[in-house]
Amino acid sequence: MAESEITLHDLDATAGLAAVLAGKVRPGAVVLLEGPLGAGKTAFARAFLRALTGDPGLDVPSPTFTLVQSYDTPRGPVHHLDLWRLPGPQGLDELGWDELLRDIVLVEWPDRLGPYLPQGALGLRLSILDAQTRRAGLIGWTA
Amino acid sequence: MRPVLAIETSCDETAAAVLDGDGVVLAEAVLSQRDHAAFGGVVPEIAARAHLAHLPGMVAEVMARAGLGFDGLEAVAASSGPGLIGGLIVGSGFAKGVAMARGIRFLGINHLEAHALTARLTHGIAFPYLLLLVSGGHCQCLAIEGVGQYRRLGGTIDDAVGEAFDKVGKLLGLGWPGGPAVERLAASGDPARFALPRPLLGRAGCDFSFSGLKTAVAHLVAAYPAGPLPAQDAADIARAFQDAVAAVMADRARHALAMVPAARTLVVAGGVAANTAIRLALEKVAGAAGLDFVAPPLRLCGDNAVMVAWAAIERLRLGVSNSLDQAPRPRWPLDGADMRVPAAPTA
């Protein structure tokens, strides 16, 4: 799938991109957030959720431990998942994966999804260039 | 008061305990994440099925060890949030079933309240006190002013501190869980070798942030070629990381103490309290302010049902129990109005 790339010079640039992309999602959208530890996946998700809710101070804790955190937004529920602690797709059923897909879903560490990886998912691939700068690969987004 | 049976299934652990009305533990059992993992490789924390498979037998066992039948209970309590909804439904559903069948009272306990009140069971401390709740999933600072009277002074704005330890452990190529492994490695590390950021140090309030610190470690590690880090370098990074965390925790605790001048005790609870460097740093802060320092035994810092039973006893003493239509809540802030004890008596 076509992938376009942009360079994000700091966290504000990441937040700006998140706000733009937040404007493009509707219920049923799945956004896969890829990149190594420290790339800024959760920071992106935080800015994305703050843009969707219109609440710049929205508390968005890391979902690493709880696996999923859900938020009510004007565009319906948004589920923020972090599959880092999972060794693989076992257990996604019990997390209610099928039901979550009716809403907007953000997934960190989507490589754990295995066969559950949805067709047509949107993607953001973050890589670390230096302490501040990130490269973002955009997958599946329309202009 | 007759004994109380309590159940804990909000996350990884399946646990049950029976305490008498004075808080004496008559029987308890905890099936940890690792024990669960032996059962078919299902991811335990999301497997409500695993809780369901083990809970009935565990309850029967603790009741037998306590020498009690359900009719001998004052009440039955369950962790009803925050946590993973599948486990919460299993635990509170089971407790409600027992309560309904035997006509005894039910309490749906906030899991964080159970952590918050544990130091009163173990050390008998008086309100108000300050609580630092620091674990893989929690990182917050609370003023504990009475049963149901909790004021959140600050918390993490991104990663929990235990999560930062686990992720740094992963970056350094260590096994799971990361906390103890990082601490062991840090013991042989040079504290002067690397300088890492100390997020929010000196900032007003007592919020925490550990994401930037984790990212700084990732950046240090990225400078090395792929493969295992040189042993001494890994140790030096671990030491720099642990020192940064300890310095931040001490700074935040100092701010918290200033926010609650009436507090007489600083309590640290949660798995991260096992880290000696952090515990010593916090003990020093408490000592300098003339406060007592309390860390409940580790067995009661992780998830367990003893703390849930104790929170239920504290509430029962104030005449509180819950109706059977109380629904489990995946998100349940401790400072919400629904935590208040009706017609709150003075603490």
**Relative orientation angle of helices B111-123 and B306-317, to the nearest 10 degrees:** 80
Domain residue limits at A96: 3-139
Distance from CA of A3 to the nearest CA of B (A): 25
CATH number at residue A8: 3.40.50.300
Task: Give me the number of domains chain B comprises.
Answer: 2
Integer Cα distance of B134 and B125 in angstroms: 19
Which residues of chain B lie closer than 8 angstroms to A43, CB-CB? 158, 211
Domain residue limits at B222: 126-298
Q: Between B87 and A87, whose confidence is greater?
A: B87
Residue B157 lies inside a defined structural domain of this protein? yes
Sheet holding B14-19, edge to edge: B25-31, B14-19, B4-8, B75-81, B105-110
What tokens appear for A64 in the block? 């690493």
Q: Give the bridge partners for A125, in sequence order.
A: A34, A137
Q: How high is the pLDDT of residue B301?
A: 84
Does one domain contain both B87 and B55? yes
Angle, vertex CA B57, rays to CA B56 and CA B61, nearest 5: 120
Q: How high is the pLDDT of residue A67?
A: 85
Integer Cα distance of B240 and B211 in angstroms: 15
Q: List alpha helices for chain B, DSSP H.
A: 33-37, 48-66, 85-102, 111-123, 161-171, 178-186, 211-222, 231-259, 276-288, 298-301, 306-317
Q: How high is the pLDDT of residue B35?
A: 56
pLDDT digits (tens, 9 = 90+) for A32-45: 999 999 999 999 99
Q: How high is the pLDDT of residue A79?
A: 96
Q: How high is the pLDDT of residue B203?
A: 86
Q: In this complex, is the C-beta atom of A23 within 8 Å of any C-beta atom belonging to chain B?
A: no
Does one domain contain both B63 and B83? yes
Q: In this complex, is the C-beta atom of B170 within 8 Å of any C-beta atom belonging to chain A?
A: yes
Average pLDDT over residues A100-124: 94
Q: pTM for the complete prediction?
A: 0.86
Does one domain contain both B245 and B142? yes
Integer Cα distance of B64 and A87 in angstroms: 37
User: Which secondary structure element, helix H or strand E, spans residue B347, and what is its range?
Assistant: none
Phi/psi of residue A142, nearest 5 degrees: -100, 150
Task: Give me the number of domains chain A comprises.
Answer: 1
Tell me B131's DSSP state. E
Average pLDDT for chain A: 91
Judge: B160–A37 Cβ closer than 8 Å, yes or no: no
A1: pLDDT confidence band, cut at 50, 70 and 90?
low
Nearest CA-CA partner of B231 in B174, B178, B175: B174
> CA nearest A47 in B: which residue?
B158
Does one domain contain both B215 and B334? no
Does one domain contain both B234 and B250? yes
Integer Cα distance of B138 and A64 in angstroms: 11
Burial label for B72, CB within 10 Å (0-12, 13-18, 19+), is middle
The low-confidence residues of chain B, meaning pLDDT below 50, are: 36-42, 44
End-to-end CA distance of chain A: 14
Residue B346 lies inside a defined structural domain of this protein? no
pLDDT digits (tens, 9 = 90+) for A44-79: 999 999 999 999 989 898 888 878 888 999 999 999
Which residues of chain B lie closer than 8 angstroms to A86, CB-CB? 43
CB A106 within 8 A of CB A33: yes
Q: In this complex, is the C-beta atom of A127 within 8 Å of any C-beta atom belonging to chain B?
A: no
Distance from CA of B160 to the nearest CA of A (A): 7
Interface test with A, best of B215, B241, B303 (most A CBs within 10 A): B215
Does one domain contain both B142 and B243? yes
Q: In this complex, is the C-beta atom of B163 within 8 Å of any C-beta atom belonging to chain A?
A: yes
Does one domain contain both B316 and B276? no
Residue B345 lies inside a defined structural domain of this protein? no
Beta strand pairing status for A30-34 and B149-155?
Answer: unpaired
What 3-state DSSP class applies to B166? Answer: helix
Average pLDDT over residues A70-98: 87
CB B189 within 8 A of CB B244: no
CATH number at residue B187: 3.30.420.40
The owner of tokens 């869980």 is B177
> CA nearest A44 in B: which residue?
B158
Does one domain contain both B271 and B222? yes
* C-alpha distance from residue B30 to each of B17, B50, B58, B91, B116 (Å): 9, 13, 9, 14, 19
Over 90: is that where the pLDDT of A22 sits? yes
Does one domain contain both B107 and B171? no
End-to-end CA distance of chain B: 20
Residues B172, B178, B184, B185: what is their CA dihedral angle, to the nearest 10 degrees? 10
Q: How high is the pLDDT of residue B38?
A: 43
How many whole angstroms from its chain centre is CA A18? 9
ipTM: 0.84
Percent of chain A with pLDDT over 70: 99
Residue B251 lies inside a defined structural domain of this protein? yes
pLDDT digits (tens, 9 = 90+) for B98-142: 999 999 999 999 999 999 999 999 999 999 999 999 988 889 999
Distance from CA of A59 to the nearest CA of B (A): 7
Name, in order, each residue with C-beta under 8 angstroms of B287's C-beta and a sequence gap of 6 or more. B293
